A = this chain, B = another copy of it.
Amino acid sequence: MTDERLVYKSGDFVPESEASLSIFDSGVGSGHMVFEVTRTFNHEPFRLTGPKSHLERLHASLRCAQIDSGMTPEELEAATFETIERNLHHFGPDDDFWINHYISNGTEGRPSVLIYVRSLAGVLAERAHFYDEGLDAVIPTQQSVPARLIDPKIKNTSRLYYRIADVQAKQVSPDAWALLTDEDGFITEGTGSNFMMIKDGVLISPEPRNILLGITRGGIIDVAERIGVPFEERNIEPYDVINADEAFFSATSVVMLPVRTVNGHPLSAEPPGPVYLRLREGFSEMVGFDFVSQARRYAGMLNREPAAV
């Protein structure tokens, strides 16, 4: 019996080393594919099912992208849980993982449905130091493709512009994350993350029109309501970000990472800022799990406890 993880692939479970997409798959050749990335906290998938969940969004993506998975929502959910179950023994009791869904129209009328799990250890170890130090946000020349052309609400794989934005941001600072804007110059999102800022005690998100409605973002909004941080969706300009009190990116893996500079300007509150910290701690409480400590543990950082926390 092999130790290899198993991947659900259009009805079968195959070893991960064999899990790949044909070069003739329409998802590969056209970026005509939708996906979801869910993470677990303490082995518990975060908002995988139910309202405002990853699977609900996946079905919305399929509908709008004109992809037919050939599976009912119930079948997809069952396959997901079976994938988790078959792989759970690969992860230690303190280890969490990603659950990935990739669905395309496949080849010759047969859809491709991939479900697989991956360890979070690597990515969390790499990013753990940002929890205290913060990231450099850089607004690149590359703009977001607006929703009227390719809707970012459809979580899809036609994302060449994300990669170009990343390269441009890294040219300014190797620690930079790209912070995209739309045609009107309003802030949209990161390249695979959402962005929010805090001004005068209010948590502010871009209006939803040109962004992915992140599941983690939804969780943070719930936390804000729970702990009494007022929340608003508003057009955000670079002017607003440069003059913000605090700011952060949110993403499935790390939940939320603070921003320390925007286009080279330090924000007024040094990261991690006070409201950011309250939200992050509120999130830990909501999911009943200290994901920051986990990340630090992955990074071997526990012994050099940062002063600020």
Binary B-proximity of A138-161 (CB < 8 A = 1, otherwise 0): 011111111111110110111111
**Among listed A27-35, A214-222, A295-303, interface-contacting one:** A27-35
Report chain B residues within 8 Å CB of A157: 28-31, 158, 160
A185-B20 CB under 8 A given contacts A160-B31, A235-B209: no
Question: A119 at the A/B interface (Cβ < 8 Å)?
Answer: no
- Who on chain B is nearest to A27 by CB? B28
**Among listed A41-49, A60-68, A83-91, interface-contacting one:** A60-68
* B148 and A149 form a contact (CB under 8 A): no
User: Which interface class (under 10, 10 to 19, 20 to 34, 35 or more) fits A?
Assistant: 35 or more
Question: A79 at the A/B interface (Cβ < 8 Å)?
Answer: no
* A237 and B30 form a contact (CB under 8 A): no
Report chain B residues within 8 Å CB of A116: 23
- CB of A97 to closest CB in B, whole Å: 14
Question: A171 at the A/B interface (Cβ < 8 Å)?
Answer: yes
Report chain B residues within 8 Å CB of A160: 30-32, 65, 150, 154, 156-158
Pick from B141, B162, B167: contact of A140, CB under 8 Å: B141
Interface centre among A28, A114, A143 (most CB of B within 10 A): A28
Which residues of A pack against B, CB within 8 Å? 7, 19-23, 26-33, 35, 60, 63-66, 100, 102, 105, 114, 116, 139-151, 153-154, 156-164, 167-168, 171-172, 181, 184-186, 207, 209, 235, 237-239, 242-243, 263-265
